[in-house]
Amino acid sequence: MAVTQLVGAKIHRREDPRLITGHGHYIDDFTRQGTAYASFVRSPVAHARVKSIDVTDASKAPGVVGIYTARDFKGQLAGTHPAAPAFVAEKKYVPERFPIAEKEVTYQGEIVAVVLAESKGQAADAANMIQVDYDDLPVVMDLEKALAKGAPKAHEAGPDNVCWDFTYTPLDLTEAAFKEADVVVKERVLQNRLAPVPMEPRGVLADYEGFDKKLTMWLSSQNPHFIRLFVSGALGLRESQVRVISPDVGGGFGSKISPYPEDYLVPALSRMTARPVKWIETRTESIQNSTHGRGQFYDCEVAAKKDGTLLAMRVVQYVDVGAYHGTFGAFQPVACLMAGGGYKWKGISARTVGVLTNRVPTDPYRGAGRPEATHLVERMVDLVALELKMDPVDIRRKNFIQPEDFPFTQNFGLVVDSGDYDKSLDKALELAGYAELRKKQADLRKQGRYMGIGLSTWIELCGFGPSAATAPATGGIALVESAQVRVTPTGAVIVYTGTHSHGQGHETTFSQIVADQLGVPLDSVELRHGDTAEGTSFGYGTYGSRSLAVGGVAISKAVGKVIDKGKKLAAHIFEAAEEDVVFEHGNFHVKGSPDKSKAFGEVAFASYGMGLPEGMEQGLEAVAYFDPPNLVWPFGAHVAVVEIDAETGSVKLEKYVAVDDCGNIINPMIVDGQIHGGVVQAIAQALYEEVVYDESNGQLKTGTMIDYLVPSAGEIPPFILDKTITPSPTNDLGVKGIGEAGTIAASVAVINAICDALSPLGIKHVDMPATPDKLWHMMKEARK
Amino acid sequence: MKHKVAVTVNGHKHEHEVEPRLLLVHYLRDVIGLTGTHIGCDTSQCGACTIHVDGKAVKSCTMFAVQAEGRNLTTIEGMANGDELHPIQQAFWDEHGLQCGYCTPGFIMAAAYLLEQNPNPTEDEIRRGLEGNLCRCTGYVNIVKAVQTAARTMSSTPARKTQVTAGGN
């Protein structure tokens, strides 16, 4: 490899010039001549039979091209919405889902009709004129009530509301350990339902060209190749007939991984009308219909010894699946497999129950299962510490998996590849000034003030993933990653990756890797993604902090193949043995005689010429797929400091320290940016955000940004960030993931700080979001 | 039913017949074709559509196009001077003040107005001054830094009006 110049450096992002000048290309920036605009009619009620749909007035409205209901799509769309096995191989009941409801609607926002018109406004006007007669059915909202015998059903045809009920490890596994225990703590820990709220809502533009029988669709997606797979299947087209282009994507956070009803309906409408069709989601549609995250609760028990040794954990996870099984909705039970965190346990018994309700489906949202696991274990460990009157630092240190234990096989057979948990904790405590903070806390408590310090010593598994684990999870396709490197005759390097950035800066980081490896300037490397017509046959998208640890490594492998061919050719030119040719600093030369050398560009040019070695074909390009041998395991330690206003219950975040370890770093600026954003998303879960439905009728009460509180710059504390670097042994680059780390770590640091602050009142546990109203009531109750 | 509207956008004059209900942001994007101004909500919360109307930061979803009659508008496309970035754009680039970039045009326009009103804001003043804009990626840390950096550059270089006279499409 060339001397590292770019990897590890703060390189300005290459995508920024277009984005800061208003020249990015997001989905709504595309249009086609002759486009018709779609407006969807959505159920205003959460659960009802659809008695009739009257389109008489609407069809006479100006500009209307057509009005379509479920019946019109029969013969156009085949099959039901995909539901991946993920971490629950056996499902009890997966309701069939069609992109448009016919006889029964099961959540507020489900599509019942669609209007096409000459303009957006005309489509919306006509949609408002459609009269749908609904016959209300009882709604299923509360998870426990939904599981009771004889409960109303989220789907009339369903046997009950159990989507899955799966035991990973049975209760008796932990029986002996619980008998040994000096203390047992029990808690129910809630995970508030969240809306991902990418700043750019979703949208689809589809153009089916009937004579060519080819569909091009533009949509805002993290996962263009999977969308091609699903949409081509539903429309009865070969994948080669469908081109999916996902341009600049204005954030995703998991909500742009899975296919949506509109992703099928819009291209079908284009085919039905022989016109390009466009639909752009409104914010209210987004909060109402984009998949939600979390929406769970956990019943957990932890057994420990008097000295703070953790023995065993019992956990039952209840997941609000929503009205349908999200495509990757059963990923969330990974929380069970990660419930032990960075600690050693004799046993963990775990069961997950997926419950159908009349809410929009849940699916992965930044962190997906791992924030929940961290929140649970870090909360439970604090509860044990409180019970034993131990410092939260001491109980963690006592139970950490130690550096010499790695690779460490945890209770569910997952192999944690590397770590040094004390080291990141040491650094975080030092940066926070932990000892002084405790002194300050003692002083403030004497004054009746509620200051708290919260820890989160988090671990993560990411980089999905090894074929052995991921092929069964998707139902067949292994989540490896592909890359293609093409070198033109003049030495320009074009790199195609199957991942797709939605803010992570892949155009920059991936180019840094390639430029270093080839010893060429950054400018001669072009990174392409997001268009299924380019590059390899299949790409796997961006989610689960996989892009660098899987996609980046695939790119590096493909570059390696290019260099190998270059060496063969250079050896031929030098009339030397191939094994004597060295490639460094962008030049090929014969070992021991660096003066006789050929630049990478010269060899590229020669590869398109004549007189190649026997059997060598022209050209310089390579494809590589990377199937990682293991997942990667980032970790870190966060410290949050809060003060709670005794009069109002409002929480002020005084300080936030994050020490994270994502292995080797390609671009530290981008890594810090990922942590900032991730931490703030988790702070938002801890303090502000919650999707609220009316429990009596399933009406969404937080359907706008007025009610759903995405924090602004005014709510966010200053950060202190630092790193430890423990390279991953899983891949040649030694990298892990960082996209989700902040979100995995931070919610519990804030909540632990709040619980710590309120502990003098005897308050042990607070659920999210810790709103002033909630805390004020809890404090008032506790003071009685 | 259509009304005539004549505006100057980034120094260029435009005249169209529009529906009275057409929002200014839709006029800019769909009629004039300046798609750098984004739409992120329906309720004027997110600020992605912030532009300058006669030099003042305005969420362009809160105005009808016809209300902009005779006004001088600046959008994100009018901020750079040819290839020369506005100091705020440069600072967003230097400080990694954006990730997905969708909210960025609105933030830059809001920041430009903020700095015009208050050339040396404290961190707290920046945070409060930008409360009308939402970002989901950056946690605001580097946006605040970018505005601080821009304030420094702009105070050490000769004043440059954000209102340009031509170019920028």
Is A161 among the domain residues? Answer: no
If asked whether residues A688 and A773 sit together in one domain, one would say yes
**Percentage of residues of chain A with pLDDT beyond 70:** 99
Q: Is residue A1 part of a domain?
A: no
Mind spelling out the 3-state secondary structure of A170-236?
Answer: CHHHHHHHHHHCCEEEEEEEEECCECCCCCCCCEEEEEEECCCCEEEEEECCCCHHHHHHHHHHHHC
Please report how many Cα atoms fall inside a 13 Å half-sphere around the Cα of residue A456, on the Cβ side. Answer: 37
Distances (CA, A) of B65 to A208, A310, B3, B47, B76: 33, 65, 10, 17, 18
Please say if the pLDDT value at position B160 is more than 80. Answer: no
The last residue of a domain, from among A289, A314, A338: A289
pLDDT at B159: 56
Any domain includes A451: yes
Residue A3 has what pLDDT?
45
Say how far apart CA A314 and CA A174 lie, in whole Å.
Answer: 7
DSSP per-residue letters across A571-588: HHHHTS-GGGEEEETTEE
pLDDT at B166: 40
DSSP E strand boundaries for chain B: 3-9, 12-18, 50-53, 56-59, 72-74
| Among A20, A249, A713, beta carbon nearest to B98 | A20
Contact B101 A16 (CB under 8 A): yes
Question: Distance between CA A463 and CA A480 in Å, rounded?
Answer: 9
Closest in A19, A22, A504 to B77, CB measured: A22
Q: Are residues A622 and A641 in the same domain?
A: no
What does the pLDDT look like over A109-139, one tens digit per residue?
999 999 999 999 999 999 999 999 999 999 9
Which of A12, A18, A21, A290 to mutate to probe the B interface, most B CBs <10 Å?
Answer: A21
Three-state DSSP state, B169: coil
Q: Averaged over A391-397, what is the pLDDT?
A: 98
Q: Specify the pTM.
A: 0.96
Average pLDDT score, chain A: 97
Contacts of B89 in chain A (CB under 8 A): 20-21
Domain contains A175: no
Answer yes or no: do A21 and B144 touch at CB < 8 A: no
User: Across the interface, do A503 and B99 touch by the CB < 8 Å criterion?
Assistant: yes
What residues of chain A lie within 8 A of the CB of B94, using their CB? 12
Distance CA B19, CA B21 (A): 5
Same domain, residue pair A651 and A739: yes
pLDDT band at B167 (very low <50, low <70, confident <90, very high): very low
Q: What is the mean predicted confidence (pLDDT) over A534-540?
A: 96
CA distances from A349 to A337, A396, A411, B84, B110 (A): 10, 21, 9, 61, 52
* Dihedral sign of CA atoms B51, B54, B55, B58 in order: negative
pLDDT beyond 60 at B140 = yes
The pairing of strands A493-497 and A525-528 is parallel
Question: Nearest chain A Cα to B85, which residue?
Answer: A21
Answer whether residue B165 shows pLDDT above 60. no
Q: Is A668 on the interface with B (CB under 8 A)?
A: no
Token pair for A84: 């991946």
Contact state of B43 with A705 under an 8 Å Cβ cutoff? yes
Say if the Cβ atoms of B100 and A200 lie within 8 Å.
Answer: yes
Topology of the domain comprising B3-77: Ubiquitin-like (UB roll) (3.10.20)
User: pLDDT over 90 for what percent of chain A?
Assistant: 97
Q: What is the predicted ipTM? A: 0.97
d(CA B102, CA A273): 32
A94 DSSP assignment: -
The mean pLDDT of A691-713, rounded to a whole number, is: 97
Residue A2 has pLDDT above 90, yes or no: no
Q: Are residues A203 and A95 in the same domain?
A: yes
Q: A554 and A460, same structural domain?
A: no
Q: Is residue A476 part of a domain?
A: no
Interface with chain A: mutation pick from B61, B141, B148, highest number of A CBs within 10 Å: B141
Taking the domains of chain B in order of start, what are their residue ranges?
3-77, 87-156
The Cα A717–Cα A432 span in angstroms is: 14
* Residue A174 placed within a domain: no
Pair of tokens at residue B91: 């600072």
For residues A88 and A354, the answer to whether their CB atoms sit within 8 Å is yes
Residue A501 shares a structural domain with residue A583: yes
Give residue A46's pLDDT.
Answer: 98
Q: Is the pLDDT of residue B158 over 90?
A: no
**Domains in chain A, number:** 3
Which chain A residues contact residue B52 at CB under 8 A?
Answer: none
Q: How confident is the model at residue A4 (pLDDT cuts 50, 70, 90)?
A: low
In this structure, the answer to whether residues A642 and A674 fall within a common structural domain is yes
By the 10 Å C-beta count (0-12 exposed, 13-18 middle, 19+ buried), B70 is classed as: exposed
* CB-CB under 8 Å, A251 with B40: no
Locate the chain A residue with the closest alpha carbon to B144. A713
- The hierarchical CATH code for the domain B87-156 is 1.10.150.120
What are the φ/ψ torsions at residue A493 (nearest 5 degrees)? -115, 120
Whether A33 has its CB under 8 Å from any CB of chain B: the answer is no
| C-alpha to C-alpha distances, A253 to A277, A368, A504, A750, A784, nearest whole angstrom | 26, 10, 11, 21, 43
Q: Which residues contact A451 (CB under 8 A, 6 or more apart)?
A: A440, A441, A444, A445, A641, A642, A643, A644, A654, A757
Residue A418 belongs to some domain of the structure: yes
CATH number (domain holding residue A108): 3.90.1170.50
Q: Which candidate from B37, B45, B139 shows the least CB-CB separation from A676?
A: B139
pLDDT for the residue numbered A171: 87
Q: Is pLDDT of A445 > 60?
A: yes
Return the CATH number at A362: 3.30.365.10
How far is Cα of residue A202 from the mean position of the Cα atoms in its chain? 16
Answer whether residue A648 is part of any domain.
Answer: yes
Give per-residue pLDDT as tens, A347-356: 999 999 999 9
How many CB pairs below 8 A link A and B? 172
Distance from CA of A510 to the nearest CA of B (A): 15
Please name the residue of chain B whose CA is at the shortest distance from the CA of residue A17.
B93
Give the tokens for residue B132.
């009308």
**What pLDDT does residue A5 have?**
87
pLDDT in tens, A463-483: 999 999 999 999 999 999 999
Arithmetic mean of pLDDT, A640-669: 97
Q: What is the mean pLDDT of residues A406-416?
A: 97
Instruction: List CB contacts (< 8 A) between B19 and chain A.
Output: 121
- CB contacts under 8 A, A 313-372 vs B, are none
Last residue of a domain, one of A595, A626, A657: A626
**pLDDT level of residue A1 (50, 70, 90 thresholds):** very low
A311 & A278 share domain: no
Tell me the pLDDT tens digit for each residue of A503-527: 999 999 999 999 999 999 999 999 9
Using a CB–CB cutoff of 8 Å, tell me whether A152 touches chain B. Answer: no
Print the domain residue range for A594: 16-22+481-626
Non-local CB neighbours of A781 within 8 Å, separated by 6+ positions: none
Query: Are the beta carbons of B98 and A712 separated by less than 8 Å?
Result: no
